[in-house]
Amino acid sequence: MDMTGATHTTDDDRSETDEGPTTVNVGQFEFERGGSVDLDVAYETYGDPTNPPVLVAHALTGSQYVAGAAPEELGAQAGSWWDDIVGQGRPLDTREFFVVSANVPGSCYGTTGPASEGPDGEPYGPDFPAVTVTDWVRAQAQLLDHLGIDTLYAVVGGSVGGMNAIEWAKQYPERVERVAAIATAPRLDAQMLALDAIARRAITSDPNFGDGRYYGDEHPDEGLATARRIGHVQYLSKTSLEDRFGRRAAERAITAIDDPTADAFPYRDVVSYLDYNAERFTERFDANSYLYLLRAMDEYDLARGAGSDAAALAGFDGEALVVSYTGDWHFTVEQAETLATAFEHAGAAVSHRVVDSDYGHDAFLVEPETVGAPLSAFLDGGAEKAGFAPVHASLFS
Amino acid sequence: MDMTGATHTTDDDRSETDEGPTTVNVGQFEFERGGSVDLDVAYETYGDPTNPPVLVAHALTGSQYVAGAAPEELGAQAGSWWDDIVGQGRPLDTREFFVVSANVPGSCYGTTGPASEGPDGEPYGPDFPAVTVTDWVRAQAQLLDHLGIDTLYAVVGGSVGGMNAIEWAKQYPERVERVAAIATAPRLDAQMLALDAIARRAITSDPNFGDGRYYGDEHPDEGLATARRIGHVQYLSKTSLEDRFGRRAAERAITAIDDPTADAFPYRDVVSYLDYNAERFTERFDANSYLYLLRAMDEYDLARGAGSDAAALAGFDGEALVVSYTGDWHFTVEQAETLATAFEHAGAAVSHRVVDSDYGHDAFLVEPETVGAPLSAFLDGGAEKAGFAPVHASLFS
């Protein structure tokens, strides 16, 4: 078993990632929608490789740096993003489990993506093949092969990472025993497809985007910032934005823009917040990667090729945990219930935990206690131990 | 009384508007936030001027052409937008009432706005003063002075037109007897402020926007289209988008854009719908006007300068009708209830009709029967006749 520098075995080892991403080359990778690249998969591991392996799938703009040390430039959103969930003594205890996480194909944190150098020595840019959640799972399976892991004790993920987790039960049901799908859905609804398409078009219509070969020139930061602002609104609930910001004026001055209506009115704090975060985001994320990954999320549909969600999960006879949030309008409680029902109809033991939270979609990141307790119980004793089955069946009666 | 060609007295007269907008010059107009312009106000009237006068306020990108004939280039959204509500035998019956409607300052349908020619012979562009709902109401009052109308039997408006209506009760309580505020609120919440700011920035960051002096050159259509798409999502509910479009693929081909992820996946019908409507919108609306009017809506706050909503309405002792829609996330039922309560605390007779509709904010336009019945009853017999008072008090108990 090749356990290179990516392994975090103790809290003291957390600085080992300073030397950049650890990668494994899985060779020429054929993508679901056509095209292939010589694929490096960047990954991190945590804990003792002889313990039961758990794969953690990251969210849209997340990384393989689930917990502990992470490159500083990733910031708190992409680096060490589940530090309250994964670690020694944490709900996903790295003294009990061997945790593996990989950056998805198409991203920009070490796994090959549009910003990576292609065979001609230039970044792939728009020549990078379209990616799907199915591709991500197949790349992760190849990483596990490399690590000598045949069967996962569990796969855990939130948001599109939750789609990634349930796709494991569809694609490799024999290689995973437990699936924990947090704040996710079998597919997005029309409203989210609409907002995501608006976001993508904001990027591609930025004059700096050109045809996507902007590397070395000015990047389409304005369009990417617009896309991120739209995403940010999707990640928070109406209630949480109102409670946190209301109509309060910001303390900082607005970034200079030529808006003739700006000077006569206050710069609202909620706008300042989105602007600030969008600016930080453009410093850490590649616009093409955002296009590719957002599209992968939009186009994920658990039922595709199987006829129904339950049929897609027919081969899976393990246990499933579904966690959803009442304030989440990106991935709704109703969608999570559809997922839980599909697991049930497929014959899996499933527990659906509905968390009463106003925060919104990002609750799975910023209210880690809502994930920690059910996840810990689920890993310990399965759906029954998670203690909520079969409450999902009566949620909407 | 000057009753120029704008008057529709019978259905047969509906072609009279073919000669372009009818305007009255109200002289130099001082704006609330500073600046002044020589202001033309474009307006239409419907019915017999000796009947009780009712002012109808249009929504964000609407026009004075409430019903009957309208210039073709306005399309169905801006022209004759309430034809099911206003007319002979309609709920707001033009045989019983003299209906007046005016295009708001800052718009682009005949009333002076950023695209209008300034004193130097060039369009004002970004030199046009910032506009507020308060300005709109003062301009409307000056129009009524011109028409010889002292007191309105009623003012009626939906969306930001509803803000316009309630601002009448604040600013000229002695000049209006009844206020019908449809699908509106005393102020927007943080989520809407956020989305509107994203929309504005999409316009100002379009390279064709420049500093807002794009007239005669390429217009910032791409940015304006982004803004409109965002607005469109705000106007429809999550449920109605899902029921109407779901994840279905579009029949038409996507407008060519350089999105490297587009070719591998279907063009979704919901996206096609937004794109189509956004393209039509850029043909009829000025980007600067959109900036100015969107800002006026965002910055409206009934309580401003008065301390509370009820204090703002203290001078009004007439009757009020509030209509809200359960599927409206732009102007929510809860916000409408706040408004109804403020009217009640101010001593006005008020009826709050909550319409159970999945459609979303635009229900007040596309489900006219939901407006017609309560409006007709309200105009006939006030809040009590509207038949729902005081249900609002028990809605959330």
Per-residue pLDDT tens digits for A318-339: 999 999 999 999 999 999 999 9
Interface test with B, best of A259, A281, A358, A359 (most B CBs within 10 A): A259
pLDDT confidence bin for B21, thresholds 50/70/90: very high
pLDDT value for A72: 87
pLDDT of B12 above 90:
no
Predicted complex ipTM: 0.94
Beta carbons of B201 and A268 less than 8 Å apart: no
pLDDT value for B108: 97
CATH number of A192-296: 1.10.1740.110
pLDDT of B389 above 60:
no
pLDDT confidence bin for A66, thresholds 50/70/90: very high
Q: Residue A282: in which H helix or E strand, if any? A: helix A269-284
Q: What is the pLDDT of residues B82-133, one digit of tens each?
A: 999 999 999 999 999 999 999 999 999 999 999 999 999 999 999 999 999 9
pLDDT value for A12: 44
Q: Are B300 and B163 in contact (CB under 8 A)?
A: yes
* B202: chain A residues, CB-CB within 8 Å: 202, 226
pLDDT value for B4: 40
* Closest Cβ–Cβ partner in B130, B193, B244 for A268: B193
Q: What span, in angstroms and rounded, lies between the C-alpha atoms of B96 and A116?
A: 71
Q: What is the pLDDT of residues B38-69, one digit of tens each?
A: 999 999 999 999 999 999 999 999 999 999 98
What share of chain A in percent tops pLDDT 90? Answer: 85
Q: What is the pLDDT of residues A234-245, one digit of tens each?
A: 999 999 999 999
Q: Are B319 and B358 in contact (CB under 8 A)?
A: no
In terms of Cα–Cα distance, which of B330, B387, B376, B380 is closest to B353? B387
| CATH fold match for the domains B7-191+297-394 and B192-296 | no
Tell me which residues of A are annotated as active site.
159, 328, 361
Q: Residue A340: in which H helix or E strand, if any? A: helix A333-345
pLDDT of A128 above 60:
yes
Q: Which residue of A has its CA nearest to B260?
A: A126
Q: Cis omega before residue A186 (within 30°)?
A: no
Mean pLDDT to the nearest integer, B74-82: 88
* B268: chain A residues, CB-CB within 8 Å: 190, 193, 197, 298
* Closest Cβ–Cβ partner in B190, B236, B247 for A246: B190
* A258: chain B residues, CB-CB within 8 Å: 126, 204, 209-212
Q: What is the DSSP letter of A52?
A: P
Checking A12-18 for CB contacts under 8 A at 24+ apart, the result is A13/A68, A14/A68, A14/A69, A15/A69, A16/A69, A17/A44, A17/A65, A17/A68, A17/A69, A17/A70, A17/A71, A18/A69, A18/A71
pLDDT of A270 above 50:
yes
For β-strands A178-182 and B53-57, DSSP reports them as unpaired
Burial (CB < 10 A; 0-12, 13-18, 19+), residue B76, is exposed
Q: How far A121 CA lies from chain B's nearest CA (Å)?
A: 19
Q: What span, in angstroms and rounded, lies between the C-alpha atoms of B316 and B311?
A: 10
Outline where DSSP puts E strands in B88-140.
92-93, 98-102
Domain ranges of chain A: 7-187+302-394, 192-296
pLDDT value for A381: 87
Q: What is the pLDDT of residues B343-368, one digit of tens each?
A: 999 999 999 999 999 999 999 999 99
pLDDT value for A389: 43
May I ask the CATH class of domain B7-191+297-394? Answer: alpha beta
Mean pLDDT value across chain B: 92
* Closest Cβ–Cβ partner in B193, B206, B212 for A270: B193
pLDDT value for B7: 62
pLDDT value for B3: 39
C-alpha distances in Å from residue A158, one per residue of A66, A155, A219, A313, A314: 12, 11, 29, 18, 22
Strand-pairing partners, residue B40, are: B25
Give the list of residues 6+ apart from residue A241 with CB closer than 8 angstroms, or none: A233, A270, B189, B190, B191, B194
Give the list of residues 6+ apart from residue B121 with CB closer than 8 angstroms, or none: none
For β-strands A86-87 and A92-93, DSSP reports them as parallel
Evaluate whether the domain defined by A7-187+302-394 bears CATH number 3.40.640.10.
no
Is A228 annotated in some ligand binding site? yes
